[in-house]
């Protein structure tokens, strides 16, 4: 799968995804650390990359209509460590297919994973 990781996601998660065989790029590597949310969304859509972020703005379906893009994974967890993020992502990969993620808004909390498709 192809992923775009927002600047608030650890580079360790980028490395983790790459080690699992995914095509993952980090906004820091792309020199997009100061890019607007809109610019990140446009890049995600144009490159067909699922966006991974802690930025709750991306959970606003009016601003970022995930059904028109590759998908968005938003973390709403107290812990922001790469271990927490990587563990949650691994759970998703073990239980859902790439097709299950496409065009979805996925919100991850400590005790729940919600999929929104419209």
pLDDT, one tens digit per residue, over 82-115 is 999 999 999 999 999 989 999 899 999 988 999 9
pLDDT at 68: 67
Residues 67 and 118 sit within 8 Å (Cβ to Cβ):
yes
Asked if 50 contacts 70 with a C-beta cutoff of 8 angstroms, the reply is yes
Alpha-carbon distance 80 to 42, whole Å?
A: 25
| Strand positions, DSSP E, the chain | 2-5, 23-26, 50-53, 72-75, 105-108, 113-116
Domain interval for residue 95: 2-116
The reported pLDDT for the residue numbered 28 is 84
Angle between helices 82-95 and 11-19 (to 10 degrees): 30
How many domains is the chain built from?
A: 1
- Check pLDDT > 70 for residue 66: no
Question: If you average pLDDT over every residue of the chain, what do you get?
Answer: 89
Task: Name the DSSP letter for residue 39.
Answer: H
Q: pTM for this one?
A: 0.90
In Å, how far from its chain's centre is CA 114?
14
Average pLDDT over residues 75-80: 89
4-18, 54-68, 83-97, range with the lowest pLDDT: 54-68
């Amino acid at each position: 799968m192809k992923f775009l990781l927002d600047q608030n996601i650890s580079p360790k998660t980028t490395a983790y995804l790459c080690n699992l065989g995914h095509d993952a790029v980090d906004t820091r590597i792309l020199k997009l650390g100061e890019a607007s949310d809109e610019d990140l969304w446009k890049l995600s859509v144009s490159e067909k990359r699922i966006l991974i972020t802690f930025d709750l703005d991306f959970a606003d379906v009016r601003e970022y209509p995930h059904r028109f893009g590759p998908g968005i994974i938003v973390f709403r967890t107290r812990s922001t460590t790469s271990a927490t993020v990587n563990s949650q992502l691994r759970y998703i990969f073990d239980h859902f297919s790439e097709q299950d993620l496409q065009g979805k808004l996925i919100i991850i909390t400590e005790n729940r994973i919600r999929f929104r498709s419209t």
